[in-house]
Amino acid sequence: MTINAEVPVAAARGGPVAVAGGHGRQDAEGGASGADLVLPLVAVGGVGVLAGYGYVRRTRRARTRTTPGVVSPQPPVTPLPVLERQAGAALVQADDCLRTSREELAFVEARFGTDAGAVEPFVRALRKAERELSAAFAIRLRYDQGVPGEDAARRHALAGIVGRCAEAGRRLDTEAPAFDQLRALEQELDSSLGIAETRFRELAGRAGGVDATLADLNTRYPLATATSAVTGYVEQAKDRLVFATTHLNQARQAADLDDTGTAIRDLRAAEGAIGQADVFLNDVDRLANSLPAAAELVPAALTGAEAELARATTEPAPGRLHTRLAHAHATLAAVREELTGDSPYDPLDALRRIVRAVLPLGAGRDGVLGAAAWLVGRSDVGAADGFVATHRGAVGTAARTRLAEAELLLATDPAAADVPALEAREAAEQDVRVHGNPYDGRAGDRTSGVGGAVLGGILLGEEPDGGPPLCFGGPATRKRRGLPPP
């Protein structure tokens, strides 16, 4: 990828060269002074010097002018911060395209069931696009860590990010026409509406049960940090379902009037909201499984960590290791006190602190401590991913890059995945606070769910009603279900 930073300049104009010269001094009687009677050779030499000086000045001016006509031989270089913003925008857009494409593909899979052959080309396209995006995020992570260090190499790295993201989008764009042909919404609209309505009813019925589950978690684990990751999630799921209700009804009405384009637009908006409601409810259920599992694992993990600490204490300890041992002793003692005391505690946080205490000692990657690391990492990565998925209209590059790092570590080194996962969630929450939601202040948006749909990236927020809804595809095709121009 090349960035054209050439700046046009004006051509030097022809014409006589202006020569600066002094008037000859006149004597008291008006005659010519001796200073005017210079030898011709000397005069010609002076004119040559002045002409050369004028030429140099004109050449320098021509190289720095911006008038169209001549290309500067040394164009200005695009500043790194500008290239960084371009690369960041490419990462966000590619990540959004992949997430939307996965969500719509789930509805196609629900329709075709066990007929894997029908959806396999699109599954492959998604996997290839995911690999490109994963490579782009890896480059960005190294870039944020200062690698490479030279400006020229950093520019190449940013160009590589943009190129990888473009390739991910191209793969999805290429498959979009075949995907639409498989879905055949123009001919099979009623069937697709039926699938969406079935999923909607399942989630609407499930929301009450998940609400009760969350209430039970708050009772069993009253410490606020234990359930803070899913606070408000049932309400947000209901908000997405309200939005889905509105658009499913509008889709049915448009279909009855043979307004197929509008019906498909409303269907896609409803499908996006249904998918995100499912994410919210799943996140609560995952936490409901993780907290009891962590509570059961804490005593064994604590005993295992104390054994590792005792082993490390018997070995010679240099100054830095001595500090780590002291910190580990204090951490494990605090967890032991929480475990045996009467005050409520957060089991996942207790496991997290245990694993972090022994990691600097070379432990925590196998046995009971490895199981604890896996449980904590999986919970934190899942929570961060769910938040990004349901708030992606506001989440920027930093949070997504850290999440990509956490997902990679979860597969290769679960004990190390917890830190970038928590950082990703924190950065995403900060993005949402800074971004706000312009649709929440409009009349009717709080009851129709449009604000949540824009925040969730279901709608792009480019029109008064929040549309268009996004579809399977890359940057060139994902908005194809919008209303036609007037």
- Per DSSP, 9 falls in state E
Q: Is 184 helix (H, G, I), strand (E, B) or coil?
A: coil
Looking at residues 157-175, what average pLDDT do you find? 98
Looking at residues 40-55, what average pLDDT do you find? 40
Q: Does residue 97 fall inside a structural domain? A: yes
Looking at residues 261-270, what average pLDDT do you find? 96
The answer, yes or no, to whether residue 180 has pLDDT greater than 80, is: yes
pLDDT: which is higher, 111 or 101: 101
CB proximity list for 428: less than 8 A, separation 6 or greater: 384, 387, 388, 391, 395, 399, 403
Q: pTM of the full predicted structure? A: 0.83
The answer, yes or no, to whether residue 46 has pLDDT greater than 50, is: no
Q: How many helices (H) and strands (E) does the chain have?
A: 15, 2
> Which two tokens mark 229?
């990751």
Per-residue confidence (pLDDT) for residue 361, from 0 to 100: 86
Q: Under a CB-based contact definition with an 8 Å cutoff, are residues 406 and 384 in contact?
A: yes
Residue written as tokens 């099979």?
Answer: 188
Buried b (16+ CB within 10 A) or exposed e, 375-408: bbbbbbbbbbbbbbbbbbbbbbbbbbbbbbbbbb
Pairwise CA distance, residues 153 & 145, whole Å: 14
Would you tell me how many other CB atoms lie within 10 Å of the CB of residue 151? 10
The answer, yes or no, to whether residue 66 has pLDDT greater than 50, is: no
Q: Does residue 137 fall inside a structural domain? A: yes
The answer, yes or no, to whether residue 431 has pLDDT greater than 60, is: yes
Q: Give the CA angle between residues 433, 438, 444 to the nearest 5°.
A: 120
E-strand ranges in 316-474 read none
Pairwise CA distance, residues 423 & 402, whole Å: 7
How does DSSP assign 111-161, residue by residue? HHTT-HHHHHHHHHHHHHHHHHHHHHHHHHHHHHTT-S-SHHHHHHHHHHH
Per-residue confidence (pLDDT) for residue 190, from 0 to 100: 96
Q: Does residue 103 fall inside a structural domain? A: yes
Q: Does residue 486 fall inside a structural domain? A: no
The answer, yes or no, to whether residue 62 has pLDDT greater than 90, is: no
Average confidence score pLDDT of the chain: 85
Per-residue confidence (pLDDT) for residue 315, from 0 to 100: 72
The answer, yes or no, to whether residue 45 has pLDDT greater than 80, is: no
Q: Give the CA angle between residues 224, 226, 229 to the nearest 5°.
A: 90
Q: Under a CB-based contact definition with an 8 Å cutoff, are residues 93 and 167 in contact?
A: no
The answer, yes or no, to whether residue 372 has pLDDT greater than 90, is: yes
Note the maximum CA span of the chain. Answer: 119
Q: Does residue 138 fall inside a structural domain? A: yes
Q: Does residue 267 fall inside a structural domain? A: no
Look at the chain and report how many structural domains it folds into.
1
The H or E element that residue 461 is part of is: none
Pairwise CA distance, residues 94 & 97, whole Å: 5
What are residue 9's phi and psi, to 5 degrees? -130, 165
39-43, 110-114, 230-234, range with greatest mean pLDDT: 230-234
* Cα–Cα distance list, 422 to 290, 380, 425, 432, 461 (Å): 16, 6, 5, 16, 29
Domain extent at residue 166: 80-183
pLDDT: which is higher, 349 or 51: 349
The helix-helix angle for 319-340 and 260-313 (nearest 10°) equals: 110
Looking at residues 322-348, what average pLDDT do you find? 92
Pairwise CA distance, residues 98 & 81, whole Å: 26
Would you tell me how many other CB atoms lie within 10 Å of the CB of residue 1? 11
Using a pLDDT cut of 90, give the percent of the chain over it: 71
Q: Does residue 28 fall inside a structural domain? A: no
Choose the weakest-confidence range: 39-43, 97-101, 238-242, 393-397: 39-43
What are residue 471's phi and psi, to 5 degrees? -135, 175
Within 13 A of 213's CA, how many CA atoms are on the CB side?
Answer: 20
* Cα–Cα distance list, 360 to 145, 347, 405, 407 (Å): 21, 21, 20, 21
Pairwise CA distance, residues 262 & 254, whole Å: 6
The answer, yes or no, to whether residue 309 has pLDDT greater than 60, is: yes
> Which two tokens mark 131?
């690999």
* Cα–Cα distance list, 188 to 103, 112, 117, 260 (Å): 19, 12, 19, 11
181-221 residue pLDDT tens: 999 999 999 999 999 999 999 999 999 999 999 999 999 99
- Please name which of 165, 172, 160, 173 lies closest in space to residue 1, comparing C-alpha atoms: 160
Q: Does residue 102 fall inside a structural domain? A: yes
Residue type, 424: A
